[in-house]
């Protein structure tokens, strides 16, 4: 199958490090990695299967590089594209805005025709409000990672989510092709 394009933005390196850990699990030969600070619309347009990683900053705001790229994202035709999202946030420090940016990115690309995979249960997280929560379904719009409060759970969450999206993207070998790590 064709390669997955993984695009992330990161102010302080957490989202970048999670992006690298996802790539290692799915296989370096299967995933091309991009920092959104350095890309154009064309690079996203090249991929049918995409993973987007975005942290939330400053009380519910989009990470700065994603923000600069936002108008370009709004112009991309996502019809026929499948996208898995992961978001980073701090559920205790910013529990009224937990992962809001992932929810905002979700809404924009769905409006442009994207099919979303990689939905994730809200069980095991404590927060007041999140734009990334699907109301009434007990699910986030993508993988929720909290390196500030639940760092010790990240490796296992990544193992399970990568197996889930390997199935949903129909990667050869499915969940069995994912390398489980304790990193």
56 Cβ contact list (under 8 Å, min separation 6): 62, 63, 87, 88, 89, 94, 97, 98, 99, 100, 101, 102
Nearer to ligand FMN, 52 or 97 (CB): 97
In this chain, which residue has its C-beta nearest to ligand FMN?
Answer: 89
Q: Name the CA radius of gyration of the chain, rounded.
A: 15
Question: Which residue stretch of 29-37, 68-76, 84-92, 152-160 sits at the interface with ligand FMN (rule: CB under 6 A)?
Answer: 84-92
Query: Which one among 15, 49, 82, 159 touches ligand FMN, defined by CB under 6 A?
Result: 15
Sign, Cα dihedral of 167, 75, 39, 146? negative
Q: Which bin fits 124, alpha (ψ -120 to 50), beta or left (φ > 0)?
A: left
The verdict on 67 binding ligand FMN (CB under 6 A) reads no
CB 18, min distance to ligand FMN, A: 8
Query: Which one among 52, 97, 120, 125 touches ligand FMN, defined by CB under 6 A?
Result: 97
The verdict on 86 binding ligand FMN (CB under 6 A) reads no
Sort 16 into a burial class: Cβ within 10 Å, 0-12 / 13-18 / 19+: middle
CB 9, min distance to ligand FMN, A: 7
Q: d(Cα 95, Cα 153) in Å, to the nearest integer?
A: 18
The verdict on 10 binding ligand FMN (CB under 6 A) reads yes
The verdict on 164 binding ligand FMN (CB under 6 A) reads no
For residue 10, what are its two tokens? 């990161």
Residues of the shown chain interacting with ligand FMN in the complex, contacts defined by CB under 6 A:
10-15, 55-60, 63, 88-90, 94, 97-100, 147-148
């Amino acid at each position: 199958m064709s390669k997955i394009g993984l695009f992330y933005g990161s102010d302080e390196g957490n989202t970048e490090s999670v992006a690298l850990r996802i790539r290692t699990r799915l296989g370096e030969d299967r995933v091309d990695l991009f920092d959104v600070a350095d890309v154009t619309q064309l690079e996203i347009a090249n991929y049918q299967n995409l993973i987007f990683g975005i942290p939330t900053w400053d009380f519910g705001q989009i990470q700065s590089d994603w923000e600069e790229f936002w108008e370009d994202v709004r112009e991309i035709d996502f019809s026929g594209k499948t996208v898995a999202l992961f978001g980073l946030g701090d559920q205790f420090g910013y529990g009224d805005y937990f992962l809001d940016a992932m929810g905002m990115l979700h809404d924009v690309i769905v409006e442009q025709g994207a099919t979303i995979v990689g939905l994730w249960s809200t069980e095991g997280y404590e927060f007041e409000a999140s734009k990334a929560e699907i109301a009434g379904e007990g699910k986030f719009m993508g993988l929720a990672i909290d390196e500030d409060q639940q760092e010790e759970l990240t490796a296992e969450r990544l193992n399970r989510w990568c197996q889930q999206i390997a199935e949903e993207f129909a990667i050869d070998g499915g969940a069995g092709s994912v390398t489980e790590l304790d990193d």
